[in-house]
Chain A
Amino acid sequence: MKNGKILVAPAMLWLSLFFAIPMFIVVAVSFASRTPYGQVIFNFTLANYQRFLEPLYIRIFIDTVFTAFVTTVITFAMGYPLAYCITKLPHKWQQPGLILVMIPFWINFLIRSYAWVIILRSQGLINTLLLNLGWISQPLALLYNDYAVMLGMVYALLPFMVLPIYVSIEQLDARLLEAASDLGAMPFTAFRKITFPLTLPGVAAGSILVFISALGMFVVPDVMGGAKSALIGNLIQNQFLSARDWPFGSALSIVLAILALVLIVLYYKAIQKQEGGGRNEEKLA
């Protein structure tokens, strides 16, 4: 396939047309200002970026990155074993297993989130259960705090972790593991030295999809967090849907995108180092 390079063209053309061109508009707007009624005036200004440097907004950025990071770690801790178990199912049951994991995500996100509210609220399922068992005397405040927000995010983003990891584990050569165990490696050692390094591409893809999606979340903080936590997604949403400040909203979005891009590059650098280690072990095995 000498001309195989051309295969990338349709997707790139598509993204240029429907993403890059609109994005130029967004960049332009981020350097613009607005009339009292929210219309954008194109007179070059850096004010929107300067405004972002206020401690208030910096703090919101840091909080958001932290929340997204914790979410990614938890989704990984849940998603990897789940994906691993699916690959251990009999071949016939692997795809149904995978789809079974996906089905909840085809149901409307809002009503799933409201279902969580019903489970967690003060007179909800869990509190009623614990009260009746006599384990607690006062209902626990399970909702409308940062933990609830993280729970909601993990719940919303789990499939983005499970699918890429499943895809990587599934292609693992079982003979490598057999060889390792023949050579007397403990299962956990074999996992750590062989399986895990070889599935890093999936882990990387999954983590990035989850982390990025978590950065922009705003429905979960509203529904599960009682709209009490200010995350960057809410801040951006507010600029467009209540403050009517498109230039500031655009500037925030661009800062967010650049920040995420930098983190991704750093992350990939780290992963590549790891993978280098993994590849060597592959050769040894």
Chain B
Amino acid sequence: MMKKRIAVVLMGIFAIAILAMGCGSGAKTQPVKSEPQVLNLFSWADNFSPEVLAAFEKKYNCKINYDVFANNEELLAKIQAGGSQYDLIQPSDYMVSTMIKLNLLEKLDKNKIPNRNNIVKNLQSPAYDPTGDYSVIYTWGMTGIVYNKKYVKETPTSWADLWNPAYKGRVILLNDNREVFGMALKKHGFSNNSIDKDQLDTAFADLKKLAPSVLAYDTDTIKQKFIAEEGWIGTMWSGDASFTYKDNKNIGFIIPKEGTVIWADTFAIPKGAKHKDLAEKFINFMYEPKISAQNYEYIGYNDPNEKAQAFHSKEFLSDPMLKVAVDDVKQGEWLKDIGSGLTLYDRYWTELKTIK
């Protein structure tokens, strides 16, 4: 009776699974003849053009296992536990410095990655990895003010504009304690890496006043919230602003005069990686000018590759959001790993969330 019927349903699902497996492995097993090498890549989702990945697999007769994470701390936990078998990872800026300090990264063989010289000079040795021994910058951007010109008539210039009572209930901030406190610290002219209690108290007092105006804290779907015009003004990453602008032309984006966060995702190789050589080949491959252009056109973030400019489409080069970040790059300050200073940030962050 009941069991049989459920069994039929489950078996149906299972049959589909096997069928799908058949299809999947059929596609995979054909070229597998000379035991291709494997590159275990651990990255953010949708972070590469599929064609570029396929081109690499073809060129080096290898298979890329592309697994994904959604948060730097998750990445750290997995790499720290060891035995995770990844060859190439993509930590963000501050996480690179943490991982260097924890001795979790292999030194890169610079000779095998000649194409890194194609990268814009000031991004070759950023503050989080000053010698550039452990990481190569992949995507980068800046946090700025995003606003909808329909509702925000005066172009914002300063972080203080978020506090404008006219936007009450329509402000959206990134759901990240370092970003939000960093923004408030910058507003008062402090460093966004400050762990000085007085400075943090000043920022916190200010944020408490902003809290009732906040519609939502959101990092992941903030783009959708601005496209759908739920939010009028808020903080956003330049790359995301570019995405948002594509779907809603009323969107504007500026870097406030007080300065802001500059961030990057990078390539790095975890300690004990089994296919280090192939991983380095992959990094090098990604900065070949033509490949790089193709890749960044797909992912839609700023291309740090100077030599690739010639291969980019006009549309990409004139993207107003991406251009803002390039023009104002000097305004950016990298977030550093502030170690135990984070405890106070977290304490205040939690308290901020309890304000109704």
Contacts and interface: CB of A to CB of B under 8 A. Distances in A.
- Interface size on A, as a range, is 35 or more
Contact of A243 (B102, B175, B221, B342): B342
A141 B340 contact: no
A242 B101 contact: no
A242 B216 contact: no
B9 A121 contact: no
A239 to B, nearest CB: 8
Interface in B60-109: 71, 73-74, 76-77, 80, 98, 101-102
Contacts of A95: 2, 5-6
B216 A227 contact: yes
A264 interface: no
Contacts, number: 92
- Interface size on B, as a range, is 35 or more
Interface stretch (B263-271, B300-308, B311-319, B347-355): B347-355
A39 B346 contact: no
B228 A60 contact: no
Contacts of A227: 175, 216-218, 353
Contacts of B254: none
B228 A228 contact: no
Given A59-B354, A226-B217, A228-B214, A238 B71 contact: no
Given A117-B221, A222-B175, A241-B74, 14 more contacts: A37-B337, A39-B80, A56-B354, A122-B229, A122-B230, A124-B228, A226-B218, A230-B354, A238-B349, A240-B73, A242-B342, A242-B346, A244-B76, A244-B342
24 contacts: A36-B339, A36-B340, A60-B354, A94-B2, A95-B6, A117-B224, A122-B228, A123-B228, A123-B229, A141-B169, A143-B216, A143-B230, A144-B216, A226-B215, A226-B217, A229-B353, A230-B350, A238-B349, A241-B71, A241-B73, A242-B73, A242-B176, A242-B342, A245-B342
Interface of A: 36-39, 56-57, 59-60, 94-96, 99, 114, 117, 121-124, 141, 143-144, 222-223, 226-230, 234-235, 238-245
